[in-house]
Amino acid sequence: MPGRKAPEEQRRETILRAAYAVAARDGLGALTGRAVGAEAGVSSGLVFYHFATKDALLAALLDWLLAHTLVAGELPVPLPPDATAAERMFAVVRRDVEALPRARVRVELFFHYWVLGTRDPAIRSTIRLALDRYRQSFLPLAEAVLTESGGPHAPGAAAGLAAVAASFVEGSALRAVLDPTGFDAAQAMTTLAAILRLPVVPAVPLRSARRGATPDRTSRRPS
């Protein structure tokens, strides 16, 4: 019926979208009940009815932002039926990296929260848990990659591979924010594809370092 009030969830979503618009345009510091209410076309009292304090509004916006930004393996990626596990993992990483330029505003706001989290334990905990979930979403793919590769694998190898995949996306996100005009998602994926085809070169053991190398300044001189 005309004039009927929107359901509580719809009203809350409207306020959060307005909060996102304010924060994206003016920064998290501008996130006040008055500003969000004006953006949403409601009173500041209604904003604080749904979110009792500014901290509660900040926390809710972070949850909303994470739900719309970190999706990882939760969404299907269309691939041929005979695609290998490595190809599936690469496709998921590529999808997330190539989405970064379109999601730059959300990603930039996420990094603003990251900075805020250095001083706010609750926000830091929320971000850490979200990143953990994001990395865990790569775990089934990582396990499949190792299974297809055959041979024994070190304990934790799948978790390590999942973390590497997620970290590539996270690092690309930082580049997309710091250098939006210079970041090239396609080039980043081309580079990753080339890296994956290179043999892993083992690190040189410390004992076999060539003579003449600069000694550790903390080492003792012979007496």
Tokens found for residue 58: 């900040």
CATH topology of domain 8-55: Arc Repressor Mutant, subunit A (1.10.10)
- Tally the C-alpha atoms within 13 A of residue 113's C-alpha that lie toward its C-beta: 29
List CB contacts of 215: < 8 A, sequence separation 6 or more: none
List CB contacts of 19: < 8 A, sequence separation 6 or more: 31, 36, 39, 57, 60, 61, 64
**From the first residue on, what is the mean pLDDT of each consecutive set of 10 residues in the chain (223 residues)?**
64 94 93 94 93 93 85 64 86 89 89 92 93 91 90 87 92 91 90 67 42 40 40
- The residue assigned the tokens 């690469």 is 90
What pLDDT is attached to residue 150? 83
Of 204, 196, 86, which Cα lies nearest the Cα of 145?
A: 86
What pLDDT is attached to residue 74? 52
DSSP secondary structure of 100-152? TTTTHHHHHHHHHHHHHHTT-HHHHHHHHHHHHHHHHTTHHHHHHHHHHH-S-
DSSP 151: S
Angle (nearest 5°) at CA 98 between 95 and 102: 115
- The residue assigned the tokens 């509660």 is 56
Q: What's the rounded Cα separation, in Å, for the pair 192 and 57? A: 38
Long-range pairs of 176-179 with CB within 8 A, sequence gap ≥ 24: 176/100, 176/101, 176/104, 176/107, 177/104, 177/107, 177/108, 177/111
The CA radius of gyration of the chain, in Å to the nearest whole number, is 23
Indicate the domain borders of the chain: 8-55, 72-196
CATH topology of domain 72-196: Tetracycline Repressor; domain 2 (1.10.357)
